[in-house]
Homo-oligomer: A and B are copies of this chain.
Amino acid sequence: MQSIDRITPDDLPAFARGCGVLGTGGGGSVDSGLLAAAHALAEYGDVPVVPLDRIAADGLVLPLSGIGAPTVSHEMPMSGEEPVLIAAEVERIFGRPVSAVMASEIGGSNGVGAVAWAARLGLPLVDADGMGRAFPEVQMVSQNVAGLPVNLIVLADVQGNLTTLRPVDGPWSEAIARAVTVACGGSALMADYVLTGAELRGAVVEGSVSSALRIGRTVAESGEPVKALVELLQATTLLTGKVVDVERRTGGGFVRGSLILDGTGADRGRMLRVEIQNENLVAFEDGRVRACVPDLITVVDVETADAVSTESLRYGQRVTVLSWPCDPLWRTPRGLEIAGPRAFGYDLDYTPVEHLR
């Protein structure tokens, strides 16, 4: 598979589409990230993309993501200076410069936003992320699956408040970072697992940036976008139909809810229910699980194959729900402990989507 060496303004629309597909409904709407990235590239120039093995063993990588309910961040843009505040704090703590930016989560706005943050800092973007998708909670990252300690979390908000956490473990990092985010108005930029190139090897999902761009280009260039997407991702089509019910509530720094689809065409007479915590978590049909976390579940427009994010779901949309396998690290016992169905309160065992019918 071909990888890329830089992101230019021309790449952004396809890259954003790919991030949307990998967002499983969450990670924030790609529109706000796309706008920020377009402005940043215009002002600061193209962003070089480098594979992790090109980062020096002791080079500091700054993984960044927005934190907060996407329904909030959608309404509350960043100032643009958050990455500068965070990088300055990290460089002060480590006593040396940051070498590169990485998306903590490639899915949704956080994937395309990483281009803006790297451009603002004048740093390359690592072709990797901490999820290979989007997840709602701070501790749900590959670095945690790999057993690395949450050494440091740095949060900056639009007002300029800077908060640095040294939590004792992953669940505490989530509890405290989420409380800070809510206190700051519901949305913040966050760095976590600030580690060196050597430490991150084997502990991240490599090739995510190239993968998102490839997905977006495939969709953009095909006359049958949904079909092309299914082939590229080796995805299972869970249902094609119409959105007949959307329930969402925002609180505690998350948006939670569910989505009900009524099948159309070949799927007439079938219904699918998708449950959501920022991201799409589990898809049920007649009480049976059709797909569940950590496998990816994305709702796409039936014509364009554009991902429909949690905050833009609405009654009457014609959509197809796709599911495909997550990165293998999430299927390990520790990966499932951190982001399997039980980590979200579901009393069910994980079954890979390709084994569910």
Interface residues of A (CB under 8 A from B): 89, 92-93, 159-168, 172, 175-176, 178-180, 182-184
Contact = CB atoms under 8 A, between A and B. Distances in A.
Nearest to A160: B168
A163 B175 CA distance: 12
B159 A168 contact: yes
23 contacts: A89-B166, A92-B93, A159-B168, A159-B172, A160-B168, A161-B166, A161-B167, A161-B168, A161-B176, A162-B166, A162-B167, A163-B163, A163-B164, A163-B165, A163-B180, A164-B165, A164-B166, A176-B183, A176-B184, A179-B180, A179-B182, A180-B180, A180-B183
Contacts of A93: 92
A38 B279 CA distance: 52
A89 B182 CA distance: 25
Nearest to A181: B179
Contacts of A183: 175-176, 178-180
A259 to B, nearest CB: 30
Contacts of A166: 89, 161-164
Contacts of A167: 161-162
A79 to B, nearest CB: 11
A178 B184 CA distance: 11
Contacts of A160: 168
A16 B180 CA distance: 34
A198 to B, nearest CB: 23
A116 to B, nearest CB: 22
A180 B176 CA distance: 6
A172 B165 contact: no
A164 B182 CA distance: 17
A226 to B, nearest CB: 42
B165 A162 contact: yes
A307 B162 CA distance: 39
A179 B252 CA distance: 12
Contacts of A178: 183
Nearest to A159: B168
B163 A172 contact: no
Contacts of A172: 159, 161
Contacts of A159: 168, 172
Contacts of A179: 179-180, 182-183
A254 to B, nearest CB: 14
A180 B175 CA distance: 9
